[in-house]
Structure 1
Amino acid sequence: MAGERFEAAIRNAIAKRRAEAPEQRQQIYQAARASFQRLARGAEDAAALDGAIAKIEASFAGNSVQLEKAQKRRHLASAAFLLLAGIAAGALAAVYTISPSSSAAEEEIGARFSRQYTSDLQHMPTVIAYLREITDAIVERQRNNRESLDPAKGKLVALSMIDPDLVKKMPESLPRGTQFIVRADQKDLKVLANWTLCGVAMFSNPEMLDPVRSRTDSIGCPFFGMWTSGAVKW
């Protein structure tokens, strides 16, 4: 039980401080160990703390491979997008093979894809910042108001069921129809945005696609967002 409490507390600290780099996490681990020394905790608790730290680092090590693959995919995003635009243009061109306007149709399809992608891409920093704001609010509730998360235990629910005030702070610049759903317990969480920007996210930030709900080989996807390692399969 002690190990679970230590792991939950340290994971919350990592999420709160967005300690994504190994050296940042080490600072949190050192602070936890220093706190133990000041409180003169026993050897059993110290061993539980070391075990919790090792478990957390193991989860980050497993994620690092996926992150590396995601970065490689991101470098290929532009090429993939242009390829998809070319495929779409080619499909339409096949319908107009006997038409002298087929070349113009290809150019129009490619231009439409390019305009839409560019338009959606400018919203990504805003939606990512808001996703982080939601996760920070949930982490705070996990620490100080766990009962408020009861509606989101065991299922994804609308953000309004957890924090209606935060819903009112959703950036007005996001596309119409943008919504957010959450699931959380005492230590893990998953926060997802819906389809309005998922199509661009699959090219610009493919690591954010929900691995449970966004398994698709077509353009577009239903959900993308952020989650802790324990919530990947939720």
Structure 2
Amino acid sequence: MEGFALRDAGDDGHAPLALRPIHLALVAFVATLPAHAPTIGAFAEAPQFEVIADTFLFALLLAAVTSSVVVLLRGLQRPRKVFARARVTAIAAAAYLLGTMGAVGLLFAPMPLPAAAVGAGLLAGAALPLLVAEWARAVAVPIDQALVLCAFVVLTASFVGWILALLPPSALVPVFCLLLVAGVVVPPVAARMGDPALPLARPADTMRRLVSVTWLPLLGFAVYAFMTDVMAHSAFGVVQASF
């Protein structure tokens, strides 16, 4: 599928950014991130939500931070061979699916199982940074196009999140799991098809350019996102404003 261009080609020599199925899969990945409070909040009507949700999220965030440090340190070392990267990404994808779907199942279990929620959170959290890193490689584009793609993904994922929040549990679970799978299948495939000659990390120049033009709005957005979650605003009493 060729997709369609978001904008015309400019004078910078870059081809126009075209939406492709991989970008829709990225939307599914972002929309089902359990670390986003409104995403897990969509399951508030589940029988074990009060016991399981916070326990799962705390374990997930703790594991994600630890795993992120490991990924960062390994990214500063010599890149590994592509087949090793593909194997690790496939394991991470399986772990993330197992942990996240396991947490969804625990929310509807006949009895609370907080220890299992900790295990599911640690499993999903440890795998999450690896998938994020692979997604970054899979959809990498020049910086000007990256900002446009980011805006598209965030807005579309927010709309999907609204829809998920409005679904009854009987429809929410299958739709969420379907989106979850759609958002996780791409990274292992992209890792296996990647170019072994490409470096796996160290996009230092690109990151410096990105930070130089976005640090202030990103800081403002971070404060806004934090406050909307903390203050638990709701729109019309149904949809959380932090979407």
Q: By the TM > 0.5 criterion, same fold? A: no
- Of structures 1 and 2, the one scoring higher in RCO (CA 8 A, sep 6+) is 2
Q: Compare CA radii of gyration and give the structure with the larger one.
A: 1
Query: What is the TM-score when the length of structure 2 is the normalising length?
Result: 0.24
